[in-house]
Amino acid sequence: MQFFIFDLMKDFASLNDLSKWIKNELSALYPEREIDSLIQIIYEYTINLEKTKILLKENLNPAPEKLKKIKEIVSRLKKAEPVQYITGETYFRDCRLKVDKNVLIPRQETEELVEWVISDNKLTNPKILDIGTGSGCIAISLARIIPHSQVWATDINKSILNLARENASVNNVKVHFLEHDIAVDQEFGFESFDIIVSNPPYILNKEMPLIPDNVKYFEPPEALFVDDSDSLFFYDKISEFALVHLKKNGSLFFEINEKKGNEVAALLSKKGFRKIVLHKDINGKDRFIKSSL
């Protein structure tokens, strides 16, 4: 392996040659546009080269230790490991977030959920709760964008919450983080909220064959999958919680399985929630729902 790396480094006369090699290595696994994005991430992570400067530095010859690191990253990508776990960070809206294998990698759909919460809010200092915060992406974004908001966020263990706290600190926002497992404990103390938001596990176990390898083999399954026989488990638990902890006229927002919109709506209606609205994502799929008390 070391001999191969030595020969590999000797063969690259420029960054342009290196980019061609990366594209060739990854072409069977990733679409061309995604490979271009991965190259940008790799260069920023390994040689601190920003996206806008890559074309200007095509003749750059990275140092041998940098080339070795790049080769290791490409090898991990070929095994379907998400680049966000390799670099340990990602972006969500305008926030730079640390991620590890204990938390989901934030998605574009969740950005759309945050945008809906922001655009829907009419209060100047709402109290907001994010249940199952993971990296803290939802809570941190809402705390940054909604003026004078008071934001709480929960998750099931200290290691996840420590990562979310670090992300809040890096992004200069205040979020109250609390260890709480909504699946087993409906008690929460004294707070009531104007907005409760959650992106809970909602992928059915039977849908697992359809899930890309980089998701099902690397991201935490407990944050992704639910039992087929109780697919609305978390919506049931969280909505029960909201019956007690959501203020009158408060709003409950969920990200949902695109196939379960009507079922989630029926569940909320049965519990007494009103003004139930299904909301489509950018691809026209039912991916979000809002209701009120």
Give the pLDDT band of residue 3 (cuts 50, 70, 90).
Answer: very low
- Establish if 276 belongs to a structural domain: yes
pLDDT for 63: 79
CB contact at 8 A, 128 and 195? yes
One-letter amino acid at 83 equals: V
Do you know the residue count of the chain? 293
- Each residue of 193-203: pLDDT tens digit? 999 999 999 99
- Long-range contacts for 62-69 (Cβ within 8 Å, ≥24 apart)? 62/12, 62/15, 62/18, 64/9, 67/5, 67/8, 67/9, 67/12, 67/18, 68/5, 68/9
170 and 104 in a common domain: yes
Number of domains in the chain: 2
234 and 128 in a common domain: yes
45 and 15 in a common domain: yes
Name the nearest CA neighbour of 242 among 176, 280, 290, 210.
290
What is the b/e burial string over 77-86, where b = at least 16 CB atoms within 10 angstroms of the residue's CB?
Answer: beeebbbbbb
pLDDT score of 9 more than 80: no
- Each residue of 69-121: pLDDT tens digit? 999 999 999 999 999 999 999 999 989 999 999 999 999 999 999 999 999 99
- Establish if 230 belongs to a structural domain: yes
Give the pLDDT band of residue 36 (cuts 50, 70, 90).
Answer: very high
Q: What is the DSSP letter of 106?
A: P
pLDDT for 62: 75
Q: How far is Cα 109 from Cα 287, in angstroms, rounded to an integer?
A: 8
* Residue ranges of E strands in the chain: 89-92, 95-98, 127-131, 150-155, 176-179, 193-198, 203-204, 225-226, 246-255, 274-280, 286-292
Name the nearest CA neighbour of 153 among 145, 162, 90.
162
Average the pLDDT over 18-22 and give the result. Answer: 90
> Residue 216 belongs to what H/E stretch?
helix 213-216
Strands 127-131 and 193-198: parallel
286 and 162 in a common domain: yes
Distances (CA, A) of 262 to 32, 86, 143, 289: 36, 38, 30, 10
- Establish if 244 belongs to a structural domain: yes
- Each residue of 154-212: pLDDT tens digit? 999 999 999 999 999 999 999 999 999 999 877 777 679 999 999 999 999 999 999 99
pLDDT for 100: 96
Domain of residue 75, residue span: 2-79
- Each residue of 229-285: pLDDT tens digit? 999 999 999 999 999 999 999 999 999 999 999 999 999 999 999 999 999 999 999
**Longest Cα–Cα distance in the chain:** 68
What does the mean pLDDT of the chain come to? Answer: 91
| Choice between 157 and 64, residue whose per-residue pLDDT is larger | 157
274 and 218 in a common domain: yes
245 and 174 in a common domain: yes
54 and 131 in a common domain: no
Q: What is the pTM of this model?
A: 0.90
The helix/strand/coil state of 292 is strand
Give the pLDDT band of residue 54 (cuts 50, 70, 90).
Answer: low
CB contact at 8 A, 156 and 181? yes
Last residue of a domain, one of 59, 79, 99: 79
pLDDT for 182: 92
